[in-house]
Structure 1
Amino acid sequence: MASTGPGNLKARRDLGDQLRKLRGKRTATSVAAEIGVSPSTVTRTETGERLCTEEYFHTLADALGLAGEKRQALEELAMAVWDADPPWWAKFADVLSANYGALLEYEETALSRRDYQINLVPAHLQTAAYSEAVTAVDFAGLSRDTIDDLVAVRLERQRRVFGGTDPRLEIEAVVTEGVLRWVVGGPVVHREQLARLLEVTELPNVSLRVIPFSAGAGGTYASSFQILSYGGEEPEVVFGQGVSGSTFMNDPREVRRFGRLFATLSKHALSLEDSRALIATIKKDTT
């Protein structure tokens, strides 16, 4: 299943926030015991990670003594979740893992994405040909149709960076020099991808800085990761990449640790201008 349920994440979070306030000083464990669910069901519904079904809503509201206008107002908020149209990626559900679906959902309402990559161009900055080349390698053995669908998903994600959406997604990317030098898809695809990076880094909502090989060990980290931010009081989340796929993290301590890590890695990166100059040099030298 590629999504945690209907309704966008913000709607579920707004509802969950009200449910958490309604619970007051009662523990999740005590509420869970009263309505016959696990404590994690209570807490994950409050954070928006789990869908608040109609049955759960009414059972919880009864247990907490919610009635009258307050119950009606909260139910109207819940109906925004229950009656929502499926997200755009629902049509690709058969090729998306649960983790990928979660990433798409959290990304859809994010305002900014800090992206650290050690081997690949960030997904939002890839050309179609580059995306196809890395998808075919990452998921060897997939059918042509499946590869095409995964590339289509990646390109659709770029809509919030380059399309007419408001607000646009801000991309702050830090990549190693190796990302620029890997000849992915052959020389032609490689040059086109470098040209694409020079093009998109002229946009006000896209920044790309490169950690040169000369930075040494201080400019490297074992795996790629992304930090999604939402503004206001909404908590940031982190997705880390590994051999087994993406790992979701929302523990505040972990999120802060990755924020510090991104800042540290950024200190080893070239300036925006020098990064563009390096990209241009590598493109010129590519044959």
Structure 2
Amino acid sequence: MSALSDADMINAQLGIELRRLREEAGYTAVEACEPLKAQGPKLSKIENGRQGATPDEVRILCDFYDVSVEERDYLVGLAEQRPKRRRRRAGKRDAVPDWFRRFIALESDATEIKTYQIDMMPGLLQTEDYARAMIRAWEPEADERLIDKQVAVRLKRQDVLRRSGRPSLRYDVVLGEGALRRMLGDKKIMRLQLKHLAKMAKRPNITVRVLPFEVSDRISVASAFELFRLAQQNIATVYLEDLFGATYLTEPEEYTQYSAVYGRLRDAALEPEMSRILIDKMAEEYT
């Protein structure tokens, strides 16, 4: 696995977003090649992140797909950010608000995600009420319309777990016991969230392991992290998030180290069946 540059990450995001816009507009790849005056392989490489798109090419495609001016300007601006040279360090830090848009793009096309969460449910496994309670706890003064929008985005992200037409997503979760015990909203919200978690954990493409408090001598990892693999784009990256944005670690040795840590956390956790039993037991305690 070779190191990725900032340009690689931008190419991947642009490709994912342009393919989404094409599909939403109802065009085939062949039809979308016409305004570019290009052959099919070029568009395929752009959409798979294997080749960069120039700002003019992005502008032409956005106009052809009849997207909003705001959407077009964002993607053109993204193409203009593409570095001309590969950087020595491949870790890419994104600033709010664009960091989350990149996250959604990568998540939507990932073929494998491994996530470690300490005291909250992963976004892909949250119920609507739990998501709303979490957002409201973080932003208690937020306008309800903003909360509604954020909840809708979070629920829409979960479509990736039922994706068809492209390689399915393999989703592996190690969840700290604190996530089961941390109260968000009220007991009813927690009970339904845990029942939903147990149900989702039975899906063939989802594995949930709970890391209990009582496990002795396990390694301590202070923050959550996610490991992404995108097969078509040949991307493997570590995703870290904090108050100010997100960081993508794409050096091979960084991914390898985080993957090893994830493996140790997974080995220390309960097996999937025992995890579901604990989740069901905890759900009944919220009565």
Matched residue pairs, number? 229
Q: Does 1:281 align with 2:281?
A: yes
Partner of 1:127: 127
Question: Post-superposition shift, 1:119?
Answer: 1.1
Partner of 2:141: 141
For 1:100 and 1:155, how far apart are their aligned partners in 2? 15
- 1:145-199 per-residue CA deviation (whole Å, 9 max, x = no partner) reads 1111111111000011136564332210001011111121110000000100111
For 2:65 and 2:15, how far apart are their aligned partners in 1? 5
Q: Does 1:14 align with 2:45?
A: yes
**Aligned partners of 2:175 and 2:210 also within 8 Å:** yes
For 1:165 and 1:185, how far apart are their aligned partners in 2? 37
Partner of 2:56: 54
For 1:164 and 1:232, how far apart are their aligned partners in 2? 15
Partner of 1:265: 265
Letter in 1 for 2:117: Q
TM-score, normalising length: structure 1: 0.69
C-alpha distance 154-127 of structure 1, shift in aligned 2 (>3 A): same
C-alpha distance 84-229 of structure 1, shift in aligned 2 (>3 A): farther
Question: Post-superposition shift, 1:139?
Answer: 3.1
- 1:234-265 per-residue CA deviation (whole Å, 9 max, x = no partner) reads 02112112233332222222222211111111
**Aligned partners of 2:15 and 2:49 also within 8 Å:** no
Matched residue SS, 2:175: strand
Matched residue SS, 1:227: strand
- CA RMSD for the aligned pairs? 3.3
Partner of 1:25: none
Letter in 2 for 1:8: I
Unaligned segments of structure 2, at least 5 residues: 1-8, 20-42, 75-95
Matched residue SS, 1:221: coil
For 1:211 and 1:129, how far apart are their aligned partners in 2? 24
- Larger RCO, structure (CA 8 Å, separation 6 or more): 2
For 1:243 and 1:286, how far apart are their aligned partners in 2? 30
**Aligned partners of 1:115 and 1:226 also within 8 Å:** yes
Partner of 1:101: 101
- 1:196-244 per-residue CA deviation (whole Å, 9 max, x = no partner) reads 0111111101110000101246253111111111236702112112233
Larger Rg: 1
Matched residue SS, 1:173: strand
Identity, % of aligned positions = 25
**Aligned partners of 1:130 and 1:193 also within 8 Å:** yes
Letter in 1 for 2:162: F
Q: Does 1:210 align with 2:210?
A: yes
